[in-house]
Amino acid sequence: MQQWIRDILIHVGENPDREGLVETPSRVAKVYEHILGGYKFDPDEILRKAIFTEHVNHMVIVRDIEIYSLCEHHMLPFFGKVHIGYISINKVYGVSKLARAADALARRLQVQERLTQQIANAIMGPIAADGVGVVVEAKHMCMMMRGVEKQNSMMTTSAMLGCFRDDAKTRAEFLRLIGK
């Protein structure tokens, strides 16, 4: 990867041997390994390690989970927030594991639409939830830096499963509680 970065620097007209760029190929390689580190983690495994029995049957919501990802079309960042809600009978997740699972999926080459659905599916399965709602709001650098260059654009996607999809009142409660 470092050689490729060096070749890109040459291709755009830079001197990869000048002082400020000598270590750039190494730094960029490390950045990509970190940003795309989600391939090393299985969100199902993350979630299964933190399932607890509690006598509950109400909605659990974690909102404003910060995420960042890379658009698979341009390899430019998109970043924003994930809001997650679920209803399960007598099973709950450790709250930090919801954020970790979202991160594991976001730290891959993605499109926001698929990411939203993947997060919902990951949460639904291990506890056989009655329903899951996921809303992702993100700014896309491919919209802001190139093409149409719209600085204030925000993309919102949602995935509703089970009772969040089938019951308008449950869906409305979730959206109201996350401020949408």
- Exactly one of 33, 54, 66, 72 is catalytic; name it: 72
- Exactly one of 33, 45, 66, 73 is catalytic; name it: 73
> Is 74 a catalytic site residue?
yes
What does the pLDDT look like over 16-27, one tens digit per residue? 999 999 999 999
How far apart CA 120 and CA 132 sit, in angstroms, is 6
How far apart CA 57 and CA 80 sit, in angstroms, is 29
pTM (2 decimals)?
0.94
Helix axes 112-124, 95-106, angle to 10 degrees: 140
- Rounded to whole angstroms, what are the CA distances from 108 to 2, 70, 81, 115, 161? 20, 7, 16, 9, 23
> Is 33 a catalytic site residue?
no
> Is 113 a catalytic site residue?
no
Q: Where are the domains of the chain?
A: 2-35, 44-177
The CATH classification of domain 44-177, taken from the options 3.40.50.12280, 3.30.420.10, 3.90.1150.220, 3.30.1130.10: 3.30.1130.10
Residue 75 region, left (φ>0) first, then alpha (ψ -120 to 50), else beta? left
What does the pLDDT look like over 32-71, one tens digit per residue? 999 999 999 999 999 999 999 999 989 999 999 999 999 9
